Amino acid sequence: MTDGLRTGTDGVVRCWWPGDDPLYVAYHDREWGRPIDDDSRLLEKLCLEGFQAGLSWLTILRKRDAFRSAFCGFDPDAVAAFDEHDVERLMADAGIVRNRAKIESTINNARRALAVRDEHGSLAAYLWSYAPSEAPAPAPRATADLAATSPASTTLSRALKRQGWTFVGPTTVHAFMQAVGMVNDHLEGCAARPEVERGRRAR
């Protein structure tokens, strides 16, 4: 590994963090950093970043299908209608992370998402309004260049908290912004970076 880059068993140079796990490699290559505009997918990613706190993202990724089934595909209208019976159902679901506070947070955040949609037309329109400038940022050259937070994530975190969202601290929001393409934090030299940047510019 050099400066945060790693050559996989397939000969592709990519960021170090997926290692050789096929699921993680596919996530890195096909999803991470690619722009998302769908409200359900954005809610999913924001909520799963909250579930990930204290765990590895790979743990959440391996459970993602179970999360999608348990939370109705993270459809905001459906999840916002969950009640205490749903909380107990989810607490009994071994396929997901059974943390009551995070489960209740997801239901709360779905309700907050509906309020945002009513005011701004879509959750996507609101969240993307906090993305950094369209001008491409310099590519991170090494793992050491990657910050855990950013001014944009801190601003969005504060805005969400004022509206009643939970589990949306600056670090969680920064990871969310990286994942959904609001920033391109694939390292310089990673094979995915140029394609991700093209997708961001075409958005």
Residues with catalytic annotation? 27, 49, 57
Residue 102: closest CA among 171, 31, 53? 53
Rounded distance, CA 158 to CA 36, Å?
A: 22
Rounded distance, CA 166 to CA 79, Å?
A: 15
Residue 51: closest CA among 33, 34, 74, 25? 74
Query: Is 71 in contact with 20 (CB distance < 8 Å)?
Result: no
Query: Is 50 in contact with 105 (CB distance < 8 Å)?
Result: yes
